[in-house]
Amino acid sequence: MHAAPRGSRPPRRDHGWLSPALRPAILAAAGVACVIGIARVLAEGRALFPGERPGWGFAVLTGVIVTYLVAIGRDRSGGGSGAGAALALSVLLLYGWVPAALVSLSVVTLVGAARRDRWLDALLHGAIDMLGVGAAALALALWGTKPSIERPWLPDDWQASTLPQLLLGACAYLLVTRTLLWVSTAPPGGLPSLAASDLPRQGLVALALLAIAPLIAVVASERPLLLPLFAVPLIALDSSFWMARARDEEQLLDPLTRLPNRQWLLERTTSALDEATRTGDRAALVLIDLDSFRSVNDTLGHLTGDRLLLQVSDRIQRELPPGAEAARLGGDEFAVLLPRVASATSAQRAARAIVGCLSAPLDLDGLTLVIEASAGVAVFPDHAPGGEGLLRRADVAMYAAKRDRSGVEVYDASRDGNTPDRLALLGDLRRALDTGQVALHYQPKVRFDGVVAGLEALLRWDHPDRGRVPPDEFIAIAETSGLMPRLTEYVLECALGQVARWRADGLTVPVAVNVSPRDVHTPGFAGAVAARLARHGVPPGSLQLEITEHAMLEDPQQAADTLAGLTGHGVRMSLDDFGTGYSSLVHLRRLPVSELKIDRSFVARLVVDSEDAEIVRCTVELAHSLGLVVVAEGVEDDETWERLRALGCDAVQGWLVAAAMPAAETTAWLRARDTVRAEDAAPAPPTGPAAPDGAAASADRAPRPDPADAEPVR
């Protein structure tokens, strides 16, 4: 079932909680009872409905109630009309079950005829009312009371024992009607909380309406012309119930889009997961976030942003697969519940279809906008056992899609920094930073003439229980937990302290440190780096900071200001992992960098893949045209070394030269070579390919280390 269109109430489930045959059984039982009752009355030669003034009074009152129900046009699928029930029960008290059933049937028939789209629901609730009235008639019969038109049970005949009879009849009616409504139709929206508040309120209002039934009987026997006046209290009580119910439903709706909200989504998800558990199926939750909604609000205003959200809401609803339901969680976040999916792949396919429909141009007051979205998918029971967990994991996947700009991602526990295991690892990482257990290793960058161009500081953490923790694992935890600034401070402190010690020993090689996008977007970062350099007595030229293109994507202006501040203090900048970003050529010319590092993914297949070789060649030429030094990462064999030198690359880094080494080993490695001063070590801006010098180059290269001991990952 598709989600309700904007302006409607939360979607209802159209099927009851029990067997699909229950509804026809209720209709059949009511129909058979009505036919038998009418046939019996006719066979006995008795009247079906009172005549004269009482009959006309009841007819007019029935007409007013029907007119009210038709006029408001409200969906009564949650419990029918209490006003019609009170009217039928009052007729029961005076004239018996058959006339009361005819009143109920008249209301159902007239209302159903006026609302042809819901006549089946009207017929069902009329049948339930008939069975409830029949239960009340049986309760009265237990006391020996069997009124008929010929022998009405007039109020003059009522005694003290009448009160228990009336209460018993009312309780029988309520028990039968509420039970049948509960088991034959799901609560509106299928939400337990709404049902929990709805049923007690229905009971209270029904009691109030049924308490009026004896008063109607009294007036009908004494002053039948006044019967139409009861329309006022009956309609007032009935309306109060529906207004209270509408308020409850409004609390489950987003006020702007009229989609269900977060509370509705969580409760509906719980119901869907219970059903999936019972049937052995999978269910999925898709979380959708617009990628650039903030800029629309800031540039065009909140009213335009609201109109944009309305169009996004409409598009999502039109693209929903059968059975799916949509909700708005707030801001520019939407969610889609897929109550039944075959696999994570099928859920991802549905999410891609929704995200794809959102990328089509939108027209807002003549202005054409293109809005992209990111979506995360979490599947039950694979990723979480409950609704809250499923929503959180879909959120993790959505942010992964946003970071990678991949559109849609399925939840991956290895990228979730909030699993119990990763939370424990985060605590261990905090303690390791406090106690200095995280160490820096240094990997050389070497020119083709054998001169050491610099060192890159790389993190290594030997956990006391887990052993060597891969850097990409604990760095990802730091980035998603807010620990990254602390980690960057730790690396800078250790690296600059080591640079100061090397300089004191006459080793003036520069050191490069990787910084994250979060560091670049932190106000005051450039000043903090300058202060740390001054405290250690290290000249700015001895420090190089490596950034990736992702640092420019979120807030280009803040990133540009930070980088300008760093270069203004004399710190050199290097663009790391070049070629893996999304706007390399756009930002490269504007970035204040002096070095460009070609990502290892291109270098690794340089010799065997002509396309990668062409990418490297073009990158070298582009960098040289901008006056940049080019360093190739991941060099592992002599053939790649020679090919890079032929292409004009300025320096290389990788296992062929040396693995990342602890500070003491790096010191020995440097002393074994003719290390130059920092200002001479950095490669000068290139003027062409380096001259071949195979003997010198080979003499300065270390044997290739065991890959198990080398982890050139920052």
Q: Which of 210, 326, 351, 312 is nearest to 262 (CA)?
A: 326
Q: What is the mean pLDDT of residues 337-357?
A: 92
Contact 581, 556 (CB under 8 A): no
Cα 20 to Cα 24, 108, 432, 592, 634: the distances in Å are 8, 22, 61, 70, 65
In this predicted structure, what is the pLDDT of residue 113?
Answer: 64
In this predicted structure, what is the pLDDT of residue 490?
Answer: 94
How sure is the predictor about 708, in pLDDT bands with cuts at 50, 70 and 90?
very low
In this predicted structure, what is the pLDDT of residue 418?
Answer: 66
In this predicted structure, what is the pLDDT of residue 663?
Answer: 95
In this predicted structure, what is the pLDDT of residue 538?
Answer: 95
Query: What stretches of 525-633 adopt beta strand conformation (E)?
Result: 543-547, 572-578, 595-598, 629-633
In this predicted structure, what is the pLDDT of residue 712?
Answer: 37
Contact 514, 576 (CB under 8 A): yes
How sure is the predictor about 511, in pLDDT bands with cuts at 50, 70 and 90?
very high
In this predicted structure, what is the pLDDT of residue 555?
Answer: 62
Residue 671: how many CB atoms within 10 A of its CB? Answer: 12
Query: What stretches of 32-81 adopt beta strand conformation (E)?
Result: none
Residue 120: how many CB atoms within 10 A of its CB? Answer: 13
| CA atoms of 377 and 203, how far apart (whole Å) | 41
Intrachain domains 262-415 and 485-673 with the same fold: no
DSSP string for residues in 215-270: HHHHHHHH-GGGGGGGHHHHHHHHHHHHHHHHHHHHTTB-TTT--B-HHHHHHHHH
Which neighbouring-strand residues pair with 326? Answer: 336
In this predicted structure, what is the pLDDT of residue 610?
Answer: 87
Q: What is the mean pLDDT of residues 470-492?
A: 86
Query: What stretches of 476-571 adopt beta strand conformation (E)?
Result: 511-514, 543-547
Q: Is residue 12's pLDDT more than 60? A: no
How sure is the predictor about 6, in pLDDT bands with cuts at 50, 70 and 90?
very low
CA-only gyration radius of the chain, Å: 39
Q: Quote the tokens at residue 151.
A: 């022998």
Q: Give whichever of 193-202, 395-404, 623-632 has the largest mean pLDDT.
A: 623-632
Q: What is the mean pLDDT of residues 534-548?
A: 93
Tens-digit pLDDT profile for residues 660-676: 999 999 999 999 875 44
Q: Cβ neighbours of residue 491 under 8 Å, at least 6 residues apart?
A: 440, 457, 459, 513, 514
Q: Is residue 72's pLDDT more than 80? A: no
How sure is the predictor about 21, in pLDDT bands with cuts at 50, 70 and 90?
low
| CA atoms of 674 and 608, how far apart (whole Å) | 34
- Could you state, in order of their start, the residue ranges of all structural domains in the chain? 21-186+201-252, 262-415, 485-673
Which neighbouring-strand residues pair with 410? Answer: 377
Q: What is the mean pLDDT of residues 695-707?
A: 38
Q: What is the mean pLDDT of residues 105-131?
A: 72
Q: What is the mean pLDDT of residues 346-373?
A: 86
| CA atoms of 680 and 699, how far apart (whole Å) | 20
Tens-digit pLDDT profile for residues 215-267: 888 888 888 888 888 888 877 777 776 776 666 666 778 878 888 888 888 88
Q: What is the mean pLDDT of residues 50-56?
A: 80
Q: Give whichever of 18-27, 503-512, 556-565, 702-711 has the largest mean pLDDT.
A: 503-512
In this predicted structure, what is the pLDDT of residue 529?
Answer: 94
Between 133 and 513, name the one with better pLDDT: 513
Tens-digit pLDDT profile for residues 415-460: 776 667 777 888 899 999 999 999 999 999 999 988 999 999 999 9
Q: Is residue 130's pLDDT more than 60? A: yes
Q: How would you label 565-586 residue by residue, b for 16+ Cβ within 10 Å and e otherwise?
A: bbbebebbbbbbbbbebeebee
> Which DSSP category does 622 fall into?
H
Contact 57, 228 (CB under 8 A): yes
In this predicted structure, what is the pLDDT of residue 154?
Answer: 82
Superfamily holding 485-673: EAL domain (3.20.20.450)
Q: What is the mean pLDDT of residues 386-410?
A: 88
In this predicted structure, what is the pLDDT of residue 695?
Answer: 31
Q: What is the mean pLDDT of residues 31-53?
A: 82
Q: Cβ neighbours of residue 147 under 8 Å, at least 6 residues apart?
A: 92, 93, 94, 95, 96, 140, 153
DSSP string for residues in 107-118: HHHHHHHH-GGG
* CA dihedral for 74, 80, 86, 88, sign (positive or negative): positive
| CA atoms of 351 and 149, how far apart (whole Å) | 64
Please report, rounded to a whole number, the percentage of residues in the chain having pLDDT higher than 70: 79
Give residue for tokens 């990228």: 415
Q: What is the mean pLDDT of residues 126-133?
A: 82
Does the domain at residues 262-415 carry the CATH identifier 3.30.70.270?
Answer: yes
How confident is the prediction for the chain on average, in pLDDT?
79
Q: Hey, what amino acid is at 422?
A: R
In this predicted structure, what is the pLDDT of residue 537?
Answer: 94
Q: Is residue 478's pLDDT more than 80? A: yes
Q: Cβ neighbours of residue 336 under 8 Å, at least 6 residues apart?
A: 285, 286, 288, 316, 320, 324, 325, 326, 327, 350, 351, 354
Q: Is residue 328's pLDDT more than 60? A: yes
Q: Is residue 8's pLDDT more than 50? A: no
Q: Quote the tokens at residue 485.
A: 């600034």
